Amino acid sequence: MSNHHCRIQQIEIYQSRIKLKEPFKISLAIHDHAESIYVIIKTNEGITGFGECSPSKAIQGETLETCFIIGRNIGEILLGRDPLNIGECVSAMDTYIYGNTSIKSAFDIALHDIASRHAGLPLYAYLGGRNDKTLVTDYTVSIDDPGKMASDSVKIKESGFPVIKIKLGESEEKDIERMIAIQHAVGSDIPLRLDANQGWDTQTAISILSSLSEWNIQFCEEPIPRWNFTELPVVKQHSPIPIMADESCFDHNDAKRLINLNACDYFNIKLGKSSGIFKARKIINLAVQSGKKIQVGGFLESRLGFTASAHLALSSDQIVYYDFDTPLMFNEDPVIGGITYLNNGVIKVSDDPGLGAVVDEKYLQTLDKIIVPGQNQK
């Protein structure tokens, strides 16, 4: 398949910070800005690919600054390579440095954008998918005092979102109080998703989830610390609510381990954890074999990163949950093309080649950037 004339000629790396409409709070951190790196890869054949990552210090151990520096080094390693041979490029990144899954994902997305544009296909079709299912996102309630969480939940319900995602992960007493306030405010007809972001110990997780058994709850994400994954099977066994692995499932190796342990019911794929689409597809294959359903989510990426996630979501029937709300929290939107947010949480993916999304050139000109090869290099 590989066209040996196609080569990576230039890579641009940009740092972006966009203010959020209001602070986004989870048990691990509080964010008032979305911080992203945009990676733009140009080929000698005139095809340009766009990628994005939004590092989380608490989850990947990466920052905007580390991604910028490591991004330059990765750029130097990928320069001159065949962008259509994505497996080889991924392997080169992994050989160069361990971890750093966030910045690797931005390169991986840009490579997939190039490959699918080169093939003249929208990314979902390049991945073997069809644009034949409705993607509907939930909307997330930040962890806060019960009254604020309840009123936020009402707003989300009134805006027409069909599912509410609730951030928890403090003490049993406080989290139950939050849930009662929310349930009281929105009633029991709207389904809820819980995300404890590793906030509970094993007993607390079992106790809280057991006391919510009668409620309309689809699943709970990452109830206990990720390092304690060997106890996840115990939580799953005793919880009346299905368990979704998030921070304990970065890539296919983690997924395999969790399947072997019978540790979870579902997987949550985020491109910033899996190092991008190449390894995310390996998780999907394992999920298909083991019959586990998947959610695709993300970090604080703009519509560009979530457009990649939406294309991935169309690539497999195993993916049935979508958590694509973050760009709706931004004060500004620098992306042209890409996914469109319709009413009631529905997301439309375009049939343009590749991602079908680019970052506004005027916006990029305002950002700090690195260009590989450097301007003074021959």
- Tens-digit pLDDT profile for residues 143-189: 999 999 999 999 999 999 999 999 999 999 999 999 999 999 999 99
Structure tokens at 88: 């080889």
Kindly name the residue from 221, 222, 301, 323 that is annotated as catalytic. Answer: 221
Q: Evaluate whether residue 202 is within a structural domain.
A: yes
Burial 92-108 (b: 16+ CB within 10 A, else e): ebeeeeeebbbbbbbbb
Alpha-carbon distance of 113 to 93, in angstroms, equals 18
Tell me what pLDDT residue 377 has. 44
How would you list the strands of the sheet with 8-25, edge to edge? Answer: 48-53, 30-43, 8-25, 368-372
The reply to whether 3 falls in a domain is no
Question: Tell me, what's the pLDDT at 211?
Answer: 96
- 195 is an active site residue: yes
Q: Domain holding 166: CATH number?
A: 3.20.20.120
For residue range 84-96, list pLDDT tens digits in order. 999 999 999 999 9
* Res. 375 pLDDT band, cuts 50 70 90: low
- Spell out the residues 6+ positions from residue 158 whose beta carbon is closer than 8 angstroms to its own: none
C-alpha to C-alpha distance for 344 and 370, rounded to whole angstroms: 39
Are 33 and 97 part of one and the same domain?
yes
Domain match, 212 and 93 both: no
Please state, in angstroms and rounded to a whole number, the distance separating the CA atoms of residues 229 and 216.
26
pLDDT at 244 over 80: yes
Number of domains in the chain: 2
Question: Does residue 336 lie in a domain region?
Answer: yes
Please identify which of the residues 62, 82, 113, 246 carries the catalytic annotation: 246
Catalytic residue, from 104, 157, 165, 270: name it. 270
- pLDDT at residue 68 greater than cutoff 50: yes
Element (H, E) at 370: strand 368-372
Q: What mean pLDDT comes out for the span 177-206?
A: 97
Query: What's the pLDDT at 378?
Result: 37
Neighbours of 358 (CB within 10 A): 20
What distance in Å separates the CA atoms of residue 2 and residue 120, rounded to the nearest whole number?
A: 14
Beta pairing partners, 34: 18
Examine the domain organization and report whether 59 and 177 are in the same domain.
no
2 lies in some domain = no
Q: Which residues contact 289 (CB under 8 A, 6 or more apart)?
A: none
- Considering the domain architecture, whether residues 206 and 311 belong to the same structural domain is answered as yes
- Is 108 marked active-site? no
Give the angle subtended at the CA of 123 by the CAs of 120 and 125, to the nearest 5°: 80
Look up 348 and say whether it is catalytic: no
pLDDT at 28: 82
Q: pLDDT band for position 4 (50/70/90)?
A: low
The answer on 134 and 108 residing in a single domain is no
Same domain, 317 and 211: yes
In sequence order, which ranges of the chain are alpha helices (DSSP H)? 64-78, 86-96, 101-118, 123-126, 146-158, 172-186, 202-211, 232-238, 252-261, 271-274, 277-290, 303-313, 361-364
223 and 328 in a single domain? The answer is: yes
Mean pLDDT of the chain: 96
Task: Please indicate whether residue 221 is annotated as part of the active site.
Answer: yes
Residues 116 and 229 in one domain: no
Shared domain for 339 and 233, answered yes or no, is: yes
**Residue of 319, 341, 352 lying closest to 133 (CA atoms):** 319
Q: Is residue 377 part of a domain?
A: no
Q: What is the pLDDT of residue 219?
A: 98
98: number of CA atoms within 13 Å, CB side?
A: 0
- CA-closest candidate to residue 360, choices 50, 81, 125: 50
Model confidence over 252-293: pLDDT tens digits? 999 999 999 999 999 999 999 999 999 999 999 999 999 999
- Please check whether residue 148 is in contact with residue 182, taking contact to mean a CB–CB distance below 8 angstroms: no
User: Tokens in use for 334?
Assistant: 């620098």
Are 355 and 123 contacting, i.e. CB atoms less than 8 angstroms apart?
A: yes
**Gyration radius of the chain over CA positions:** 20
Residues 92, 139 within the same domain: no
DSSP annotation of 328: G
pLDDT at residue 324 tops 60: yes
The CATH number for 368's domain is 3.30.390.10
- State whether the Cα torsion 21-64-251-276 is positive or negative: positive
- The single residue of 52, 138, 195, 222 carrying the catalytic annotation is 195
104 belongs to the catalytic site: no
Contact yes or no for 311/129 (Cβ under 8 A): yes
Sequence length of the chain is: 378
Cα–Cα distances (Å) from 61 to 67, 106, 220, 267, in that order, read: 10, 16, 23, 21
Q: Which of 104, 157, 165, 167 is catalytic?
A: 167
Please give the residue range of the domain that contains residue 337.
Answer: 125-358
